[in-house]
Amino acid sequence: MRKQIQQEIERLKGMGAAYVDTRWYPFEEQEYLLMWNGNLKTTASARESGVGIRVLYKGAWGFSASSDLSDLGALYSKAFDNARVAAERVTFPVRLAEKDAIQAQFESPCKINPFDVSLDDKVAFLKAMDEKLNQEGVEQRTSDLNFIRKQIIFIDSEGSETEKLITEVFSGLRVSGRDSEGGSHERKFRLNRRGESRGWESFDMDYFNENADRIVKEMNQVLRADDCPKDKRDAILMPGILFLQTHETIGHALELDRILGYELAYAGGSFVTLDDFGKLQYGSKKLTARADATLPNSPGSFGYDDDGIPAKNTVLIDKGILIGAITGRQMVEEANAKAKKHIFNESGGANRATSFYRVPIERMTNINIDPGNDGTLEDIVKNTEKGIILDGEKSWSIGSNREQFHFATEIGWLVEDGEITDVVKNSTYKGDTVKFWNSLSLVGDESTTEVQFVDNCGKGQPNQIMQLGHSVPVCRFDNVTIGE
C-alpha cells in the first residue's frame, strides 16, 4: 500500500502537481456510551478506514477521499482533476511554508486499550457511577464514556512519512436538581489529565467516587444558595471555567484562518488583525499563553500534524503581548503575503483534519496558560478582599469576533476579606476580551494547574469535531461584572 501511494504521488508530480499528500487511516474506531438515571440510553460504535488525498496544482487545492481502496489510481486522478478545475478560478494562489522532510512515529500513551475492554466492564463502570450519583437532591444523573483510537499514515511528495497511533479516552459525570423556585442547576465532573497515560487505566474507581461525591455535595449547596449578586468583584476562575475562557477568547481568536476571514459563516471571525502581532497588549504582564502540542498525555498532543510538521510549543502571548497564532503551512504564507511583511517564520504545526474524508484546517493544539508565582488557591483567596470563585461551565455566548463574552458557571463562592463565605447560584460574569485579560492580577502556581480535556471542539464546514486540552492554573481577574 505504501509503495502504491508513493507511485501515485510520483505520477501526479509528473503531471505538474506542485504538492501531493495522502493520509491513510488503516482504521479509526469510536465508541460512546451514555447512562441516564440508571438506563443505558446510548451505545454507539463506529469503525472506518480509508484515504484522503490533497493535490496542489497551479495554486489551487484538489481533494478526494474514499474508504474503497480498490482503485487508488482513480482516487488520485480525481483529486488532481478537482485541483485543475479549481485552478481556473483561483483568487489567491496557495503557497506552502517551507518544512523539513521527516520520517517519524508517534504513539499516545495508553496502557490498556479501551477497545480491548469488554462492553460488560464498561457498562459496569457506568452502573457503579450511576449508583454513586443516586443521592438525595439529585433529579437527573448521567455518566458517559467516549473512546477514540486511530492509526494515521501520512506520506507527501516532499519526502515526509509519519505514522501515528492515537488513543483518546473521555468521561463525564453530571447531576442536576431543582431549587425551591423550580430553577434547574447542575454540576459536572470531566476526566482530566492524571498519571502518565490515559487508556482504560484512567477509570480509577476511587478517583471517580471522590469526584461523584463532590459534585453531588456542591450541587446540593447550590440548590439551597442565594442568587449571585449583581456586583463588581475580583473573579477567581478555577480551571473548570478558565479552560473555556481560554478556549473561546484566546484559542479560537488566534486561529490564523479565522484571522484571515475564513470562518465567518460558521463560528464567527476574530477581532485580531495581522497588524496586532508584536504589538497588541492582549493581557496583563502576568499572561503567557501557548499552543503546546508537546504536553505529554493530552488530546492536543498528536506528534505530527496533517501537514507532516512535528509537534511544537509556540508562545502565543508573551507576558501580555500578542506574538503568535495557531497556524498551518498555507495560512502562514498567506498571512505574510497579505500583511506585506514577515510575521510568521514557519508553520506552527496545527493543521488537523478530524477524519480521512475531511481536509485539514487550523485547529487548537493544547492552548495553555503558564502557571504563575502567586501561590496556591488558598493564597489567592487570602489576598482577595471582595471576590467570587467561579467553576464549571454552564452556558456561554461570544461576540461574533470574540471581542466580548458572557459565561454562566455552575457554582460560585463569595470571598470577603480573604475568606470564603457563601455559595451562590446562577453565577455569571461577562467582559470585553482584551480588557478582561488585561485585568489578570494573580496567577496560581503549579499546584493550581489542571489539564482539562475537550472532546467536542467544532469548526469548519462541513463541521469537524476535534479533541484537545487546556493546561490552566487558577487565575484572578480584577473588578469583573458578575450576576448580570
Residues forming the site for Zn ion (CB under 5 A) = 457
User: In this complex, which beta carbon is closest to Zn ion, that of residue 113 or of residue 355?
Assistant: 355
What is the closest distance, in whole angstroms, from the C-beta atom of residue 108 to Zn ion in the complex? 20
Nearest to 482, CA basis, from 382, 412, 398: 412
What are the CA-CA distances from residue 215 to residues 90, 131, 191, 336, 423 (Å)? Answer: 54, 14, 13, 48, 14
User: In this complex, which beta carbon is closest to Zn ion, that of residue 44 or of residue 465?
Assistant: 465
Pairing relation of β-strands 226-227 and 419-425?
parallel
And the C-alpha cell for 18? 506542485
The answer to whether the peptide bond before residue 310 is cis (omega within 30 degrees of 0) is no
What is the closest distance, in whole angstroms, from the C-beta atom of residue 452 to Zn ion in the complex? 13
User: In this complex, which beta carbon is closest to Zn ion, that of residue 309 or of residue 457?
Assistant: 457
What is the closest distance, in whole angstroms, from the C-beta atom of residue 326 to Zn ion in the complex? 11
User: In this complex, which beta carbon is closest to Zn ion, that of residue 138 or of residue 148?
Assistant: 148
User: In this complex, which beta carbon is closest to Zn ion, that of residue 389 or of residue 457?
Assistant: 457
And the C-alpha cell for 112? 490498556
Sequence-ordered strand ranges (E) for 242-381: 289-292, 313-318, 321-322, 351-352, 361-362, 367-369
Run of H or E residues at 206: helix 205-223
Nearest to 177, CA basis, from 145, 224, 240: 224
Q: Coil, strand, or helix at residue 259?
A: helix
What is the closest distance, in whole angstroms, from the C-beta atom of residue 267 to Zn ion in the complex? 8
Contact 249, 402 (CB under 8 A): yes
What is the closest distance, in whole angstroms, from the C-beta atom of residue 299 to Zn ion in the complex? 13
User: In this complex, which beta carbon is closest to Zn ion, that of residue 138 or of residue 457?
Assistant: 457
Alpha-carbon gap, residue 135 to 175, rounded angstroms: 10
What is the closest distance, in whole angstroms, from the C-beta atom of residue 66 to Zn ion in the complex? 29
What are the CA-CA distances from residue 134 to residues 177, 184, 314 (Å)? Answer: 11, 17, 44
Residue 451's Cβ-side half-sphere holds a number of Cα atoms within 13 Å equal to 23
User: In this complex, which beta carbon is closest to Zn ion, that of residue 126 or of residue 457?
Assistant: 457
What is the closest distance, in whole angstroms, from the C-beta atom of residue 197 to Zn ion in the complex? 25
Amino acid at 158: E
Contact 332, 346 (CB under 8 A): yes
Residue nearest to Zn ion (CB): 457
User: In this complex, which beta carbon is closest to Zn ion, that of residue 423 or of residue 457?
Assistant: 457
Residue with cell 507511485: 7
What is the closest distance, in whole angstroms, from the C-beta atom of residue 424 to Zn ion in the complex? 28
User: In this complex, which beta carbon is closest to Zn ion, that of residue 365 or of residue 448?
Assistant: 365
What is the closest distance, in whole angstroms, from the C-beta atom of residue 362 to Zn ion in the complex? 12
